[in-house]
Amino acid sequence: MPKKAQKHPIAAKKKAAAKKAARPVKVQQPPKTQVAPAPAPRPGLTPQLLRGMRDILPTEQRYWRHVYRTVDGIARSYGYERIDTPLLEETGLFVRSVGKQSDVVEKELFSFLDRGGENVSLRPEGTASLVRAYINHGMFSLPQPVKMYYIGPMFRYERPQAGRFRQHHQFGFEVFGDSQPVLDAEVILMAHLFYKDLGVKTVVHLNSLGCNICRPNYLTELVAYYRSKRSQICEDCKRRLAKNPLRLLDCKEPGCAALRETAPHLVDFLDDECKNHLMRVLEYLDELMVPYVLDPHLVRGLDYYTKTVFEIMLADETQPGQYALGGGGRYDNLVEQLGGRPTPACGFGIGIERAILQMKNQNIEPQDDFRPEIFLAQLGDTARRKSFQLFEELRSAGVRMAATFSKSALKAQLETANRLAAKYTVIIGQKEVLDGTILVRDMESGMQEIVDYNKAVAEMKKKLGRA
């Protein structure tokens, strides 16, 4: 009988490990029914918004434009390029980065099986996707550091309350491939500058979570501390004690929060490298005059952080909105953890709804971005047709134009021109159509002038300094 070939023990181990890695990660398995059957139509009933979701109405858009412009300005100054990643990713990406025991993955993921049976999730945050993209696109071969930013919706099945939604929007800045503390300071500065540019005063809460070398010593001490108080901690924390003890410092239960006050501090356990890193970051922040407080209990809700972690809070503790207006930190192990080369990285994310709530609470008016150079008003049907033509000739010549073609009363049109702060209003009425002219009104001086219709584009460009 031929002998069965013996498997090499290392090869067997490798095969088993590969098999394990390929196994799908289990996380709050979505129900077996892959796609919910279409509900029977209920005539007469208007579908409603899902809980925790919001429409961003036209009246609110000027706040959003203001935020986007501010983010874009900061990104250009500091050399960050925009990246867009899909809203839907394989669930394993978040389990392996944000952490299986984190609330975001354990309780808040919008996960389901797609039609092909794949376990997918709506992204709860942006960092994991950027790390995936950095690896997938071989960005380690680009000149480092690679600096990117993103803006878009994120999904977390949270209990909705003030400033907390199930769909929120975040922008984030991430920098890959450089471990210097100056980059921690740069991202903290940018988060601070964003709010400063909006006109919101903030303070940075900061801590260091150390690294894989020094953190285990701290965790041993932390676990010993909480074990001695086991009867006083909540059921969730009893579980966390075995699986993810840092999370205990994050627990909002009153009993656990009280115990946190006398818990050991991670900064006392930092090794020389991590301590030095923290000191350098603080020196930069001092020089940049970024206000900060050291917060020994700050651990953040996501598992990937190493060394610096921070959150942006309102400077005035008496104002409404005492939650994180943004947060971030360093994550030097995450790229490697997701299968890439060892690559240090850091970044932050800011919730746009929270930023806009602050603008509203503090009566900060967004700067309106669109000021038309010419408002075109018309009177009568023939004039309307003529003005459509002129409008398009001027617009395609690069002039910022506005009009309300559906309005026929001149008064209402001039009111709109005033509200939009147009530089000039061009009026075409019956008389102008017959004479082949236009009437140009300088909105600042009130002076009026008649101009030949055929010379209108050239004349208006000259007035606007574009000739």
If the CB atoms of residues 92 and 124 are measured against ligand HAM, the closer one turns out to be 124
Q: Are 128 and 172 in contact (CB under 8 A)?
A: no
Number of H helices, E strands in the chain: 16, 16
If the CB atoms of residues 329 and 372 are measured against ligand HAM, the closer one turns out to be 329
Output the smallest distance, CB 163 to ligand HAM, in A. 6
* 80 belongs to the binding site for ligand HAM (CB under 6 A): no
Output the smallest distance, CB 184 to ligand HAM, in A. 11
The CA distance from 240 to 237, in Å, is 5
If the CB atoms of residues 358 and 378 are measured against ligand HAM, the closer one turns out to be 358
Contact code string over 308-327 relative to ligand HAM, x by CB under 6 A: ----------------xxxx
* 54 belongs to the binding site for ligand HAM (CB under 6 A): no
* 347 belongs to the binding site for ligand HAM (CB under 6 A): yes
Give the residue from 181, 163, 174, 207 showing the smallest Cα distance to 300.
207
Copy the structure tokens of residue 306.
């190493």
Dihedral pair phi/psi, residue 108, rounded to 5°: -115, -5
The CA distance from 350 to 407, in Å, is 41
DSSP letters along 264-309, please? PPGGGG--HHHHHHHHHHHHHHHHHT--EEE-TT---SSTT-EEEE
Contact code string over 383-422 relative to ligand HAM, x by CB under 6 A: ----------------------------------------
If the CB atoms of residues 324 and 394 are measured against ligand HAM, the closer one turns out to be 324
* 145 belongs to the binding site for ligand HAM (CB under 6 A): no
* 184 belongs to the binding site for ligand HAM (CB under 6 A): no
* 332 belongs to the binding site for ligand HAM (CB under 6 A): no
Contact with ligand HAM (CB under 6 A) among 96, 123, 147, 156 = 156
249-254 LR contacts (CB < 8 Å, sep 24+): 249/222, 249/297, 249/299, 250/299, 250/300, 250/301
The CA distance from 51 to 90, in Å, is 24
Map residue 334 onto helix, strand or coil: helix
Contact code string over 95-134 relative to ligand HAM, x by CB under 6 A: ------------------------------xxx-------
The CA distance from 232 to 259, in Å, is 8
If the CB atoms of residues 151 and 433 are measured against ligand HAM, the closer one turns out to be 151
Q: Which residue is listed with tokens 């000027």?
A: 62
Output the smallest distance, CB 176 to ligand HAM, in A. 11
Q: Which residue is nearest to ligand HAM (CB)?
A: 351
Q: Residues 6 or more apart from 294 whose CB is under 8 A from it?
A: 206, 207, 267
If the CB atoms of residues 346 and 403 are measured against ligand HAM, the closer one turns out to be 346
Residues that bind ligand HAM (CB under 6 A): 125-127, 156, 158, 163-165, 168, 170, 172, 174, 301-302, 324-329, 347-351, 353-354
